[in-house]
Structure 1
Amino acid sequence: MSTAPAPFRNDPSRGWSPSAALLVALGGVVTSTASHADEGGVSFWAPGLYGSLAAVPGEAGWSWATVYNHTSVDGGGGRTFLRGGRFESGLSARVDGVFFGPTYTFETPFLGAQAALSLTGIAGRSEASVDATLTGPRGNTISGERSDARTAFGDLYPQFTLKWNQGVHNFLAYGTGGIPVGAYNPNRLANLGTGHAAIDGGGGYTYFDPKSELEFSAVLGFTYNFENPDTEYRNGIDMHLDWGASYFINERLHVGAVGYLYNQITGDSGEGARLGDFKSRVAGVGPQIGYMFRIGERINAYLNVKAYGEFAAQNRPEGWNAWVTLSFSLAQPGR
């Protein structure tokens, strides 16, 4: 017999159906952790990571998520960034990464909530270029274009979540971090690893009422960055807010909007932070579409596509990014 919270069972009196329950069960699977390089105005946290249904509990057992992310940014010739001990201007970058990993959702409640553990890895290609390197770590001036590209594996990202349900109201608490084992070289422009460890935690809320066919989610978190031992650079504490809103056209398809706000609330530090506080900020907004389906008798699947256009960037490259998520979970017997 299923021990899922009552709202996630097939209860016609609440307007639920197997298809709606399937989408909810996958809501927590699509939030794999990912990041890009440190310094250069780019954070450990990838804005846009969380989205719709972020706080909704799912079904117990194993699930798997694969997320493709494309990021294209341009710092512009008038912006200067510190990367690997060098001051560089005209920075532009493109990253195509695939984030993948399992999640295990526990059947027994913990602190009255549904608990889950996940581990995410990344593999992909990073390309970067600068119009000019203004000065090197010893004060040597260098000019001219410079570019780099790298295909490799990145860091590992464990995560623990707790989710509570109270009717149409859902609540989330999470903790995650970065284990710096990925490809990183402070002398290269393109990296898949961060070069430093980080911890991140926060909470979220989802309003989801199948009767009204409306959903809204928001997740607020904070990142503490450890010092990069190669560059003696430490990013400040970051605040990030991700949100998503959607309308269910039918039991399988929903459309809506997504957005984020990233804002660094304390300055960078360490001997390598020669640009001072260098606090960064960026916002993004865009559309999303999601579709869920079943493979065979036991495999639930969910496909989501979302994209963000960025604006209001400060001390950070600005551009656009897109996410394509495909997740799978095993349905409970009889579901």
Structure 2
Amino acid sequence: MKTCTLVRSTLLLGTLGIAPHVLATEGGGSVYAPGVNGFGCCALPPPGTYMMVDAQHYRSDELKGNDGRSVPVQGFKVRAEAVAPRFIWVTPQELLGGTLALHTIVPVVSLDVSAGGRSQRKTGVGDIVFGPAIGWHLSPNLHTVAAIDFFAPTGEYDKNDLANIGRNYWATHLVGGISYINATGFNADAKVMYGINARNHDTDYRSGDEFIIDYAAGWAFGNGWTVGVGGYFYQQITDDEVDGDRYPDNKGASRALGPALRYDSGQGWFLTAKGYHETGVRNRAEGDALWLRAVFPL
């Protein structure tokens, strides 16, 4: 399948006394939550209508600078919960030798941020995602997908707020992925994304382009269960721009790895769960996440 969104905090840099070069991308956040995709990510199901629901809990008590060391911010804390229903239509239409699919995600986010003696909590609909995809079944076990995801600035945003559940700019992700699926034996998945961010016109801030790989690998036992590991690789590629000026040498980066579990009912629905801890973080918050996913036909 395709991407999922979770809005991380956008910090009010001036009020908190944090220099802009401490965080990469605006507020150290992103339209996309790395690590959401894993087992079975890139194998389109047969034509039909499907529902996918992702749920995430994320927590962070530490902000990392360009050298990977903690940045002293009084009382820094982020707690986020999100439920993101995704509607998927796999059409009977063939395109470029593959199957055309369309999807949209409407995330509901609860975000609690504390820093610099301030705190704020927001709950509401985040930035909606939509786009087309083409899936190819190269063999009974090997599947690929290519997609374009569009992130619309529908979530609540105020440049003077401590916490925002919207990014206030459009973004586009170019997506490619592959899944190797066995009922018994080795399984592996990787989804590669290149994110291009538009300018936030309220702040005249344009976050740099982002490169993300979500991955999973594990072993299926033949009874529907697959056990393994999953995580992500995140690297900012281009510099941020503020008021037309570039901020060099402060690109964001992070990695994550943790246990992953999948149950395939064999009747068209499946469940996945995974947790991970972020490492190698630069110019972003470092934390822990728990993901749950359910997929079923409608």
Per the alignment, residue 166 of structure 1 pairs with: 138
Specify every segment of 5 or more residues in structure 2 that has no aligned partner in the other structure, as ranges: 11-25
Per the alignment, residue 213 of structure 1 pairs with: 185
Per the alignment, residue 205 of structure 2 pairs with: 233
Structure 2 distance, partners of 1:115, 1:213, is 29
Please provide the CA RMSD for this pair: 2.2
Per the alignment, residue 11 of structure 1 pairs with: none
Higher relative contact order (CA 8 A, sep 6+): 2
Q: TM-score, normalised by structure 2?
A: 0.86
Structure 1 distance, partners of 2:131, 2:36, is 13
Structure 1 distance, partners of 2:246, 2:60, is 23
Per the alignment, residue 313 of structure 1 pairs with: 281
Kindly indicate whether residue 15 of structure 2 is the aligned counterpart of residue 44 of structure 1.
no
Structure 1 distance, partners of 2:65, 2:211, is 22
- State the Cα distance separating 1:119 from its structure 2 match: 0.6
Structure 2 distance, partners of 1:88, 1:216, is 39
Per the alignment, residue 282 of structure 1 pairs with: 254
Give the number of the structure whose alpha-carbon radius of gyration is greater.
Answer: 1
> Which of 133, 137, 148 is matched with 1:175 structurally?
148
Change in Cα spacing, 1:322 to 1:56, as seen in structure 2 (3 Å) is: same
1:12-161 equivalences in 2 (<5 Å): 28=1, 31-37=2-8, 39-76=26-63, 79=65, 89-90=73-74, 91-130=76-115, 132=116, 145-161=117-133
Contact persistence 2:149–2:175 (CA under 8 A): no
Structure 1 distance, partners of 2:295, 2:7, is 22
> Which of 288, 302, 317 is matched with 2:270 structurally?
302
The one-character-per-residue Cα deviations of 1:150-186 (angstroms, maximum 9, x if unpaired) are 1111111002211112223222211102110111111
For the residue of structure 1 that corresponds to 2:196, the secondary structure is: strand
Per the alignment, residue 165 of structure 2 pairs with: 192
Q: How many residues align?
A: 276
Structure 1 distance, partners of 2:81, 2:207, is 24
Contact persistence 2:240–2:246 (CA under 8 A): no
For the residue of structure 2 that corresponds to 1:300, the secondary structure is: coil
The one-character-per-residue Cα deviations of 1:80-109 (angstroms, maximum 9, x if unpaired) are 9xxxxxx99353211101101210001232
Q: TM-score, normalised by structure 1?
A: 0.77
Structure 2 distance, partners of 1:286, 1:230, is 37
Change in Cα spacing, 1:72 to 1:112, as seen in structure 2 (3 Å) is: same
Contact persistence 2:60–2:78 (CA under 8 A): yes
Change in Cα spacing, 1:275 to 1:188, as seen in structure 2 (3 Å) is: farther
More strand by share: 2
